[in-house]
Amino acid sequence: MKRSDRNAISELPIRELLYRWPDIKRAFLDMHMACIGCPFSRFGTAHDAARNYGREVDTFLEQLAQCVQQRRKSTHKRINAATKLN
């Protein structure tokens, strides 16, 4: 994943991350972070959450970036499959 994509992920509010990439919630749950449904998620970022939970920021952001990348790949596969059917 591009560094700029990872920076964007780190700067978006958690609520926006979850809206854009619902699969990203798995990363929060795997790290035992209660960010999903937290009122702070409206304006708190993944970077903030990692620091608040004492997690390694770069490792956590990389995990989020991988979730986004996997989502993009599966979306492209579905689009390509649907295009071939038409």
Neighbours of 46 (CB within 10 A): 27
Is the pLDDT score of 1 beyond 80?
Answer: no
The predicted pLDDT at position 84 comes to: 60
Give yes or no for a contact between 49 and 14, defined as CB atoms under 8 angstroms apart. yes
Q: What is the mean pLDDT of residues 43-50?
A: 93
Q: How many residues does the chain have?
A: 86
Question: Which pTM does this prediction carry?
Answer: 0.72
